[in-house]
Amino acid sequence: MDARSALKPAVPARVHILLAREAATAVVIRRGPSRQTCVLGWNRHSDEIEVGQWLRGRIYERRCDLSPDGRHLIYFAMNGRWSSPSKGSWSAISRAPYLKALAFWPKGDCWNGGGLFVSDRDYWLNDLYRSHELARDDTRLRRVDAPPMEAYGGECPGVYYPRLQRDGWTLESVRSRDGIQRSVFDKPLPSAHWVLRKIAHAGFDRRQGRGAYYDEHALWNRRDERLIELPEWEWAELDRKRLVWVEAGRLMTAPLDKSGLGEARLIYDFNPLTWQSLQAPY
């Protein structure tokens, strides 16, 4: 049976993945139910998945980044406990794929937050209004003031769009209609003139299971101008020479040739995961 035809869960897990640029590792951010988030490690050589830690709260996946060597994760999170030491929302740097903070900035609101790695040792904090308060830093990493290549505001696109462009995506167009902005990013694939297209939505169109920011995808063939729309793909990327994507809470891959997308293979199903109280090993 084609893995894509398997029965979809009623409310699939929402999944976003950060690939290390210079290592065969990745961090998976898996959300569901809405107030529970799990961070996992993915060995892209063996396709083994390891659960890191759970959070009773929200991680803003589009404001996160993974260091090129895959060792450190910078993230922005919110649990709404506004009188706690975290002030209810915070940015942090942890050892991937865990959440225990090595560097910790309590914040108190959901403007800005998170950041990008410039190198294995240097990072940029998304802090336009200087609203972070450094409470701890045991990382030996260096914060730099240089902003990303372009500015897209202080919320999710301000981190996410520069991350996409840094990682080989080209911003082709931006269109706004009915209060929704759609930014089209393309990435060439090493297969028969195919391009992976990402349509990044920003705004509130209230689709079931969608937030203010979500992506849709398509495959476009530059030679014969075929367009294969894939609106159910929540996340998609080029993992070295293979195409990988997330659909209905499942991580998938399939061969791609001149005729199109081949039979899909399931790498991992994130839907059955349930809360565990886990400690980081550091």
**Considering the domain boundaries, does residue 188 fall inside one?**
yes
**Considering the domain boundaries, does residue 275 fall inside one?**
no
Domain count, the chain: 1
Going residue by residue through the chain (282 aa), what tens digit of pLDDT does each one get? Answer: 455 545 566 789 999 999 999 999 999 999 999 899 999 999 999 999 999 999 999 999 999 999 999 999 999 999 999 999 999 999 999 999 999 999 999 999 999 999 999 999 999 999 988 889 999 999 999 999 887 778 888 789 999 999 999 999 999 999 988 778 999 999 999 987 999 999 999 986 655 556 789 999 999 999 999 999 999 999 999 999 999 999 999 999 999 998 899 999 999 999 999 999 999 999
Q: What is this structure's pTM?
A: 0.93
**Considering the domain boundaries, does residue 282 fall inside one?**
no
Residues near 272 by beta carbon (within 8 Å), at least 6 away in sequence: none
Q: Which domain holds residue 96?
A: 3-269
**Considering the domain boundaries, does residue 281 fall inside one?**
no
**Considering the domain boundaries, does residue 276 fall inside one?**
no
**Considering the domain boundaries, does residue 229 fall inside one?**
yes
Residues near 266 by beta carbon (within 8 Å), at least 6 away in sequence: 3, 6, 250, 251, 252
**Considering the domain boundaries, does residue 228 fall inside one?**
yes
β-bridge pairing 72-78 and 89-95? antiparallel
